[in-house]
Amino acid sequence: MVAPVQSRSSLQVMRDTVSALMIRELKTRFGSSRLGYFWAVAEPALQASIIAVLFTIIGRTSLSGVPVALFLIVGILPFRGFFKIAVQLSAAIKSNKALFCYRQVLPIDPFITRLLIETATYVIVYIVLFLIMGWVGFSVVPEKPLELAMVNLIMFAMASGYGLVLCSSALYYEDTTKIVSLITQPLFFLSGVFFAITMVPAQYWHYLTWNPLLHITEISRDAMFSSYETPVGDWGYIITITICLWGLGLSLYWVNRQRFIAT
């Protein structure tokens, strides 16, 4: 009694491989701590509430005419999403090395798997948090829902391009993932998570606008709130950065494709 092995097209092989990897990843990710999905939602919510409480203590209940909590959550979600995705993806290839001895499993497969898992997690967290905030009485209907979806999509594309670059970098520098977490902290203060660019004097804007994450938070708020109009958010800039990161990431992947599977 042996299992029959069918001939399949490359696309079917990839689909089977990604779904097998998906089951494995979900088990190690959310299986070890049963609260995995709870924390995915609770962490950004807690972060937002702590800063919201601080703002309330110093007497600000609204920023740019928007309730503090909602203003913060719209900035925190894409910022955290960006780094969560980049960190997860940067280790995707390395942590599945033993499986590349099967010809069906290519280095890009665990990358795609993690990207799908992160996308699903992010979308679920976004929607759940908005529903909760709507339920407690905030007005959570975006002014321009399509633009909000679009800017989140670009955030995804940019984070995954960045993650692909990091996968190659992790081949040469063991500490890549640690360094990424290290630069998260200062960028948190530079990306407009808890301020709008209009609160900064205009002569200093050009110090901050090189940071693509600032554009993402700015455009997110512009799309979300009718009372806020961003003076700096630039679609062209974030799209260009995304294309550059993907170009660099794919080239590095191709150059290193043998190194990924070498034991």
Partner 1 sequence: MIHFRNVSKYYLTNSGRSYVFKNIDYDLPVNNSIGILGPNGAGKSTLVRMIGGADMPSRGEIFSNHRISWPLGLQGGLQGSMTGRENVRFVGRINGIKNTNDIESMVEEFAEIGKYYDEPIRTYSSGMKSRVAFGLSLAFDFDILLIDEVTSVGDATFRSKSQKALQKVREKTHVIMVSHEMNQIKTFCESGIVIKDKKFEYYSNVDDAIRDYKDTYVKV
| Residues of this chain that bind partner 1 (CB under 8 A) | 1-8, 12-13, 16-17, 19-20, 23-24, 27-28, 96, 98-105, 257-258, 261-263
Q: How far is the CB of 109 from partner 1 (least distance, A)?
A: 9
- By beta-carbon proximity to partner 1, the closer residue of 12 and 56 is 12
- By beta-carbon proximity to partner 1, the closer residue of 230 and 256 is 256
**Alpha-carbon distance 224 to 148, whole Å?**
7
Contact of 126 with 152, CB cutoff 8 Å:
yes
The residues near 34 (Cβ < 8 Å, ≥ 6 apart) are none
Report the length, in residues, of the chain: 263
- By beta-carbon proximity to partner 1, the closer residue of 111 and 162 is 111
Beta bridge partners of 67: 62
Beta bridge partners of 78: none
Q: How far is the CB of 28 from partner 1 (least distance, A)?
A: 6
Q: How far is the CB of 21 from partner 1 (least distance, A)?
A: 8
**Alpha-carbon distance 72 to 67, whole Å?**
9
Q: How far is the CB of 22 from partner 1 (least distance, A)?
A: 10
- By beta-carbon proximity to partner 1, the closer residue of 100 and 253 is 100
Residue 225: which of 144, 150, 163, 133 has the closest Cα?
A: 144
